Amino acid sequence: MDKGRLPARYLAKLRLRAVLENVPVATECVAAIARAAGLEDHLLYQIQLAVDEACANVVEHAYRDVESGDMELVCSMGDGTFTIRVRDWGQGFDPDGVEVPDVGAPLEERNLGGLGLFLVRQMMDSVQFTFDAERGNELVMIKRLPSEG
């Protein structure tokens, strides 16, 4: 780990109302944490895009049948990875049921939906979903950091 990075297992937590106006707030907070941790610009961009899409999906899908709820983001770093956990207490969904978009097809032939999840999976090295009625829905996104030396 270089001198610009924070110690392993550094942790930050942010809890916000899951409303569209807070998506850029969440994204910028995670970006600031990643920047302070010394992540390179190209990794920072990938993380920002994934967090933006994940939070937008919480706003759009998890709380679609209620006025609003909360989303929580937890960032940690250790063992050569930067991890972001996005949790909500809204409706769960089956990520395996989301069709992978055909990004090579002309726009007018593409199905609606699925692009955000596709982008998250493309930007991050590992993406895992868990759904628990009591603990909420959790998306864990992991970005492997380049090894030094």
Q: Residue 84 domain-assigned?
A: yes
**pLDDT tens-place values along the chain, 149 residues long:** 444 554 557 678 999 999 999 999 999 999 999 999 889 999 999 999 999 999 999 998 899 888 789 999 999 998 899 999 999 999 887 666 666 655 565 656 655 555 678 889 999 999 999 998 888 999 999 999 988 65
Q: Residue 149 domain-assigned?
A: no
63-91 residues labelled b (16+ CB within 10 A) or e (exposed): beeeeebbbbbbbbbeeeebbbbbbbbbe
**Per-residue pLDDT at 26:** 98
**Per-residue pLDDT at 96:** 67
Look at phi and psi of residue 41 and say left if phi exceeds 0, alpha if psi is from -120 to 50, else beta. alpha
Q: Residue 30 domain-assigned?
A: yes
Q: Residue 74 domain-assigned?
A: yes
Number of domains in the chain: 1
Q: 85: domain range?
A: 18-144
**Per-residue pLDDT at 23:** 97
Tell me the pairing of strands 70-78 and 81-88.
antiparallel
Q: Is the pTM of this model over 0.85?
A: no
**Per-residue pLDDT at 1:** 42
Q: Residue 2 domain-assigned?
A: no
Q: Residue 88 domain-assigned?
A: yes
Q: Residue 54 domain-assigned?
A: yes
The Cα 88–Cα 14 span in angstroms is: 12
- The CATH number for 132's domain is 3.30.565.10
Tell me the pairing of strands 70-78 and 10-17.
antiparallel
